[in-house]
Amino acid sequence: MTTDITAAGPFKFIPQGAIVQEWVVGGRNIVLGFKDPAEYAKSNPAFFGATIGRWDKKYWTGPVKETSKDGSEILVYSYKSPHLDEKFPGALDVSVRYTVRTERTDEADISVLEIEFEAQLAPDSPEDWAVISMTNHSYFNIGDQSTIAGTQVTIPDNTNIETNEVDIPTGKLKPFPGVESGVPFTLGPEEPDIDNGFALMTDVAAVPMDSRSKHQLRDPTPHGHAYNYTGKYIETEPRPDGTLAYGKRAGFCVEPARYTNAANMPEWKHMVLLRKGQTYGSRVVWKAWKREIPSLKLVDTPKVYAFLDIQPLSKGHALVIPKTHGEKLTDIPDEELAEMLPVAKKLALAVGAKDYNILQNNGRIAHQVVDHVHVHMVGGARQIPKPNEEEGLTIGWPAKQVDSNELKAYQEELKGKL
C-alpha cells in the first residue's frame, strides 16, 4: 500500500483508485480533492477523482511511465480485480493510461488529459463473462467561487435516460426538462439540478463549459453517453491537511461511459458485457484552458473602471464597474457608488445618445448574468444607447394596482428603516 503522488505536467495522480488528485489551469486547481493522499483512504464519500467501478478504493500498481514521440507524458496504472470483487463476477486485468500534453494555439495553451481504460478477463477467471463500464469521477470547479454557480454549460444533446422515483434508469429516452440541445445555460445556486445520464443521439464533438473566471473545460470524447452531475450531495468536512470543507454544488462531473444501468436493459446489455478473449476499451479526453478576454477600456480611476461591452446591444454599449469586489449593489462601498453615475453620465455625453438606459441588476432572477464578463465586480451600471425601437434594451413593465393604504403603510415602514 502506498500514498505516493506522481506528478505529470499540471497533474498529480495517486495509486488509490488511480485518482486524479490535481489539475492546475491558469494558476488554480480545477478538480476537487484532498492535499494529503492519506485523506482519500480515510474517507472519500464523493469519490473525488476516482476510477469508477469495482476498484475505486483499491490500490493500483504503478504508475509505469511510457515515452511518446510527441512529447506527451504517459502514466499507466494496472490492477488485477479478483472474482467477486465488490460482488462482481469474473476476474479482470484492468489498466488506466493517463496521457498528459499541451496543445498550443494562438488564443491559449490548452491542457489535455486523455484517459484510456482497458480490461480483459484474466486467464484464471472462474467465469467467462463480466459486466464492466469504466470512467473517471473527477469533480470540476472552473470558477473562482466555492460553488459552481455562474458556470456556463452546453449539453449538445438533451436526450436523457429517464429515471424512476428512486433514480433507477427505466431505459426510456426523453428530453431533459429545462435544457435545450446545444444551447448554453448557466448553473445557479440550486438549479438546474442534474444527476442524469445523457444519451448523445446527435453527432457531437464536445461538451463545453465556461466560467466567470474564464476557465474553460471541454470534453471532446467520442462516446454515445455522458453522465452529468451537479454535485447536490457533496458534503465533506475540513481535513487536517488544510483542505477546506466541500459542500453542495462545490463541483460538477462529466463522465463519458456506457449507458447507465445497461446491464439490466436487454437492448443495451451488449455495451457492458465482456467475454473471455474480448478486450474492453474506453477513452475519455478532457481539455481545459484559461482564456483572457480583451478589455476595451474607456475610463480608469482609482475607484471605477469603464469599458465597452464586447457583445453590445447597440453601438456605445458600455459597462461601469467598481474596483471593489462585490456581487450586488449592497456589497459596494458608498464612495465607489458615488463615482459610478458621474462616469455613466460622461459616457452618455461622449456617445451622444439622446435616449439610453442606465441598468443595474442584482441576482439571477433579476437578470444578473455575468458569464460574458471577465471580472467579478458585477454590481456595475450599463450605459446602453437606445437609437431606435429595435436596437438597445427592450423592457417589459408589468405594473400592478396596489391598495393605497397598503402602500402608505409600506412607506412608513421603509422610512423607519432609512
3-class SS letters over 342-360: HHHHHHHHHHCCCCEEEEC
Assigned C-alpha cell, 120:
480483459
Instruction: Assign 406 to helix, strand or coil.
Output: helix
In whole angstroms, what is the distance from residue 250 CA to residue 147 CA?
4
CATH 3.30.428.10 boundaries in the chain: 296-385
What per-residue confidence (pLDDT) applies to 45? 95
- Counting as low any pLDDT under 50, the low residues of the chain are 1-2, 203-206, 371-382
Confidence (pLDDT) at 375: 30
* DSSP single-letter state for residue 69: T
Contacts of 407 (CB under 8 A, 6+ apart): none
* DSSP per-residue codes, 154-203: --S--EEEEE-TTS-EEEEEEEPTT--TT--EE--SS-S--EEEEE--S-
Residues annotated as catalytic are: 374
Each residue of 275-299: pLDDT tens digit? Answer: 999 999 999 999 999 877 667 888 8
Q: Express each pLDDT in 286-338 by its tens digit.
A: 999 987 766 788 889 999 888 887 767 777 788 888 888 777 788 888 998 89
C-beta separation of 153 from 187 below 8 A: yes
Where in the chain are all domains bearing CATH 2.70.98.10? 6-290
pLDDT at position 111: 96
Which residues, 6+ apart, have CB-to-CB distance to 402 below 8 Å?
none
Q: Contact 81/92 with Cβ under 8 angstroms?
A: yes
Residue pair 263/168 in contact (Cβ under 8 Å)? The answer is no
Distance in angstroms (rounded) separating the CA atoms of residues 177 and 192? 9
Residue 367 is predicted with a pLDDT of 64
If residue 412 lies in a helix (H) or strand (E), which one and from where to where?
Answer: helix 404-417
| pLDDT score at 200 | 76
Helix (H) / strand (E) element for 404: namely: helix 404-417
- What pLDDT score does 372 carry? 28
| CATH class of the domain comprising 6-290 | mainly beta
- Say yes or no: domain 296-385 is CATH 3.40.50.300: no
Task: Return the C-alpha cell found at 307.
Answer: 469599458
Q: Is 341 helix (H, G, I), strand (E, B) or coil?
A: helix
The 225-229 sheet, strands edge to edge: 169-175, 159-163, 195-199, 225-229, 253-256
- pLDDT computed for residue 205 by the predictor: 42
